[in-house]
Structure 1
Amino acid sequence: MTRIGTTQLSSQTTTAPAKPEATPILHRVRGKVLLLLCVMYAISYLDRTNISTAGPTIMSALHLNATQFGIAVSAFSIPYALLQVFGGNLGERFGARKSLFWIGVLWGVATIATGFSIGLLSLVGARLLLGLTEAAAFPTATSAMSRWVPADRNGFAQGVVHSASRLGNAAGPLIVGGLIIWGNSLHTVLAGWQISFLLIGLLSVVWALLWMWSYRDRPQNHPKVTKEELSEIPRELERAAQPATPWRRLMRTILPVAVVDFGYGWVLWVFLTWIPTFLTDTFHLPLSKYALFTSVVLVGGVVGDTVGGMFADFLLRRTGNLRNSRRTVLLVGLVGSLLWLVPLLFAHTLVVATVSLSLSFFFLELCNATLWAIPMDVAPEWSGTASGMMNTGFGLAGIFSPIVFGAMVDSVGWQWPFGISIGLLALSAVVATVMKPRRVLPRGVDDVAVAR
C-alpha cells in the first residue's frame, strides 16, 4: 500500500484503499501548533477585513466613493499577489519560527497605520504595507504544517486553520462594529474606527511574541515532542539540507490550481469586501444590524472550511485516489456556491438574501482547505513555495475583484457584478474537472503521478 506524501510512490497506484483511521491530532504537540496557527489565521483575516466592516464609516470620514474604496481595498492585494512565491520561499529559507514572528509584528504595525489614514493615498499606503507583510504568512504557515502534520491530515489541518480565519471574518463585523461604537462613546481625539484598528493591530503583535516563544522549526527540537509523534511526521522533511527548488515542475503542477484559486478568490473578496455595503445600500440597515447580518453570512464559511477539509481527507483515505478526492470537493463547492448566488439576481427581501449568501459562502469555503492541501500533497519539501504559487491566484483576484466589483456597483448596481462572479465560479469548476495534481519529487528521483 502506498502512503501519499512519501517518496515511495508508485505510478501504478490508482484507487487502492488507504488506512481507514486518521492519524491523531489531539494529545500531540502538533495539536498545539495548529491551535496557534488557528489564532494567527483568525487575527490575519480580522486585520485584512476590518476595513470592510468599517467601510461605510471610513468612506464617510474620508469622503470616498465605492470605486475609491475598492481601490483602497485592492491595494492590499498588489504586494500580496506579487510576493506570494517569494514570501513562501523566504519562509522556507529562514524557518517559520522567525518568519511568522516578524510577519505578525509588521502586519500589526500596518493595521495600526490604517487607523491613522487621513485620505485615499494614506489609506492605500497602509493597505499596501499590510499586503506586503502578510504575503508570506499563509505559505510560511503551510510550510510549518508540512513539518508537523502527517500527510493523511493535510486537508483537516488546512480546513481547521481556515475555519479559524472565517471565524475571524464572522466575528469581525461584531468585534469591529462594537469597537467603533465603544470608541465613539469615549469622545477622544481618535474616532471609533481608528481605535478599532489600533487595538486589533496590537493583538497581532501579542500573537507574534507567543509564536516565537513556543514554536520550533524542527519537531525533534521541541522539548515536549514524543518518539511516537516523531514517527508519524513525514520523514523526508527531516533532512538537514533543503532540496533545490524545481521551479519549472512546480509551476507546471500548480498553475491549474492557481487558476481555480483565482475564481474562488474573486468571489471570496466579494464576500469579504462588499457584503456590509450591499446590505446597507439594498436594505438600508444601520451599523448594528448590517454587522450582525454580515456575521450570520460569514458563519457559513467557518463550517464550510472544516467540513471541506475533513471530507477531502475522508475521500482520500477511503479511495487512495488523490486527484478524485480533491477534485470532488472542489466541484461540489464551486457548483454549490454559484447556484446559491443565483437568487441574488432576483431577491428583494433581506431573508432571501441572507440565506442565499450564507449557503453560497458555505459551499465556496468547502474548496479552501483542498486548494491549500494540494501543495502539501504534491510538494511537501517546498510547500511554502508551492502554496505561494497557488495563492498568487487568490492575490490577483484580490487586485481586480474589489475594483471591478465596486466600479460596476457605481455604474450598473449589484446584479451584474454578482452575475460575473457566477460565471467565474463556473469557469473554475471546468478547470478543476481537468486538472491533474502530480507529486513533485527532488532531483534524482523519478517524477510520478500520485493520482489518475
Structure 2
Amino acid sequence: MSTPTTQAPAGTHLASALRKARWRIMPLICVLYFIAYLDRNNVGFAREEMSRDIGLTATAFGLGAGLFFVGYTLFEIPSNAGMHRFGARRWISRILIPWGLLAMATAFVVDDVSFAWIRFLLGVAEAGFFPAVVFYFTLWFPVRERAAVLGIFVLAQPLANMIGAPLSGALLTLDGLLGLHGWQWMYLIEGLPAVLFGIAVPFLLTDRPANARWLTGAERAALENAIADDDARVTSHSVRSFMSALASPTAWAYAGLNFGMVLGIYGLAFWLPSIVGELGDFDPFQRSLVVAIPYAAGACFVLWWSGRADRTGKRAAHTAGSLSVAAIGLLGAGYTLHLSPVLALTFLCLAAIGIYTAIGPMLSMSASLFSGAAAAAGIGLVGAVGNIGGFVSPLTVGWLTDLTGSSQAGLLFLAAALALTAASVWLFARHRPEGDTRLVLPTTQESSR
C-alpha cells in the first residue's frame, strides 16, 4: 500500500522563495547603493575645505554638484535599456568600475572647470544604477512586496550619510599626509570599493528567478507565478514596448512627482553640512557627527513606514504624508536656524524622516506601472526626469545662499517644493491601482487571514 505524497502549498513555496531572495539579493544591493550614495554625496562633506583650496564659490560648488545629475539624466534611459538587454550581473558591473575610478579622480580637480567636468562624467558613469536596481526588483518581487523591498534598499541613503559623515570627517583629518589634502584622501579611499565590487558582482548576482540554482523548482515556479499574477492585476496592459512607455502620460506624471521629491533629497544631502555649520563653531569631524543625527533619525523610520505602505496598500497616502512632514521640517528649520540650534536640528531630523520614508512608497508606485521592456523604460524615464531635480536643487540652494548669505532661503525653497509635491501625489495617485493597491489586490493583512 503506497503512502500519499504530501505537497507543500504554493504559499509555502512562495514565502520560502521570497525569504531566500531577500537574503541573497538585498545585502549586496544595499551595500552597492550605500557606496553609490556615498560617492555622489561625499562632495558635500568636502565642500568647505575643497572650496577653499581650489577657489569654489557656493554657486560654482552647487553647479558642479548638480552636473552629476545632468550626466546621469542624459544616459539613464539608455543605461536601463542595457540592463534589460544584458542582465544585472554584467550591466551593474559595467556601471560600478568606471564610476569608482571617476569618484577617485575627483581627488585631482584643480578649479571650478575640472570639478564641473569630473562631476558630469561621474554622473555619466553611474547613470542607470538606481533605475536598473528598481527594475531588477520587479523581476524578483511581486507588486505587493515592492514598497517594503524598496524601503530596505533606500535605507542605504540615510545610512550612507549617517556613517559617511563621520567617516568623511575622519578622512578629512588626513590633511597633509603624503602631500595630499584631506578631501583628496576622502575621494580616493571612498571611491575604491566601487571598483572592487565591480569586479566581484558578476560572480554574486543572479539575473532572474529562472536562473537561480539556489531556489528549488517549486520555489522558482511559485515566485514567477506570483510576479506574473500581480503584474497582470496592476500594470498597464496597453503599454508593452520600450518606446510606448517613454510616451506614456502616466509615466511622465510620475517623473514629475519624482522630480519634486528629488529636489528635497539632494537639497538636504548636499547642503546639510553647510547648514549645520551655521548652527555652531564646529571643526570638520565635530560637524560630521552633528550631520549624522538627522540621517540616523530618518533611518529609524524607513523600514516601518515602507512596510506599512505594503500592508495597507495606501502608497499614495504614505508618500504624501511623508513629504508633508518633510516640508514642515524644512520650514521649521528655516525659521529657527539662527534662533535655536537645538530646535533647528530637531526640525532637520523631522525633514530627514519625511524625505527618506517617502522614497520607498513613491518608487513602488512608478515601478508597478508596467512590466518587461516597458518597465525598464518607464523606470528609467521616472528616474531621469527626477534626477534633474538633483541638478536644480543644489544649484538653486547655492545661488540663494550666495544671494542672501544664509541657508534660510534655500530651506524655504525646498519646503515649498516638497509641500507642492505632497499635494500633487495625493491628488493624482490616491485613486489609482498603483497608489492604492487595495483596489486590485488584497492587502497583506487581508491575505493572511
Q: TM-score, normalised by structure 1?
A: 0.85
Higher relative contact order (CA 8 A, sep 6+): 1
Distance (Å, rounded) in 2 between the aligned partners of 1:303 and 1:227: 37
Amino acid at match of 1:74: G
Question: Is residue 2:69 matched to residue 1:77?
Answer: yes
Which SS does the other structure have where 1:343 is aligned?
helix
Deviation per residue, 1:322-363 (Å, 9 max, x gap): xxx111111110111111222223212221111110111101
Question: Is residue 2:242 matched to residue 1:245?
Answer: yes
Which SS does the other structure have where 1:28 is aligned?
helix
Query: Does the C-alpha gap of structure 1 residues 82 and 439 become closer, same or farther in structure 2, counting only changes over 3 Å?
Result: farther
Alignment correspondent of 2:262? 265
Q: 1:250 deviation in Å?
A: 6.0
Question: Is residue 2:209 matched to residue 1:206?
Answer: no
Alignment correspondent of 1:369? 360
Could you tell me which of 183, 194, 197 is aligned with 1:193?
183
| Percent of aligned pairs sharing the same letter | 23
Which SS does the other structure have where 2:242 is aligned?
coil
Amino acid at match of 1:428: T
Q: 1:231 deviation in Å?
A: 2.9
Distance (Å, rounded) in 2 between the aligned partners of 1:27 and 1:388: 27
Query: Does the C-alpha gap of structure 1 residues 25 and 65 become closer, same or farther in structure 2, counting only changes over 3 Å?
Result: farther
Contact 1:67 1:403 in 2 (8 A): yes
Taking the TM superposition and a 5 Å limit, the aligned residue runs for 1:78-157 are 78-157=70-149
Contact 1:155 1:369 in 2 (8 A): yes
Contact 1:23 1:150 in 2 (8 A): no
Distance (Å, rounded) in 2 between the aligned partners of 1:229 and 1:363: 37
Amino acid at match of 1:139: P
Q: 1:95 deviation in Å?
A: 1.2
Contact 1:283 1:350 in 2 (8 A): yes
Structure 1's unaligned 5+ residue stretches are 1-18, 317-324, 441-448
Deviates more, 1:298-307 or 1:118-127: 298-307
Which SS does the other structure have where 1:224 is aligned?
coil
Taking the TM superposition and a 5 Å limit, the aligned residue runs for 1:306-321 are 306-316=303-313
Contact 1:304 1:364 in 2 (8 A): no
Which SS does the other structure have where 1:377 is aligned?
coil
Query: Does the C-alpha gap of structure 1 residues 237 and 179 become closer, same or farther in structure 2, counting only changes over 3 Å?
Result: farther
Query: Does the C-alpha gap of structure 1 residues 225 and 24 become closer, same or farther in structure 2, counting only changes over 3 Å?
Result: closer
Q: 1:89 deviation in Å?
A: 2.0
Distance (Å, rounded) in 1 between the aligned partners of 2:223 and 2:84: 18
Alignment correspondent of 1:389? 381
Deviation per residue, 1:47-66 (Å, 9 max, x gap): 00111111111111111111
Deviation per residue, 1:131-182 (Å, 9 max, x gap): 111221011111221112233210111100110232112111111111121x
Could you tell me which of 334, 337, 346 is aligned with 2:326?
337
Taking the TM superposition and a 5 Å limit, the aligned residue runs for 1:421-432 are 421-432=414-425
Amino acid at match of 1:148: W
Which SS does the other structure have where 1:271 is aligned?
helix
Distance (Å, rounded) in 1 between the aligned partners of 2:305 and 2:246: 27
Distance (Å, rounded) in 2 between the aligned partners of 1:421 and 1:141: 27
Could you tell me which of 409, 412, 417 is aligned with 1:419?
412
Q: TM-score, normalised by structure 2?
A: 0.85
Distance (Å, rounded) in 2 between the aligned partners of 1:302 and 1:386: 28
Structure 2's unaligned 5+ residue stretches are 1-10, 230-238, 442-449
Contact 2:257 2:425 in 1 (8 A): yes
Q: 1:421 deviation in Å?
A: 1.4
Contact 1:140 1:384 in 2 (8 A): yes
Query: Does the C-alpha gap of structure 1 residues 314 and 27 become closer, same or farther in structure 2, counting only changes over 3 Å?
Result: closer
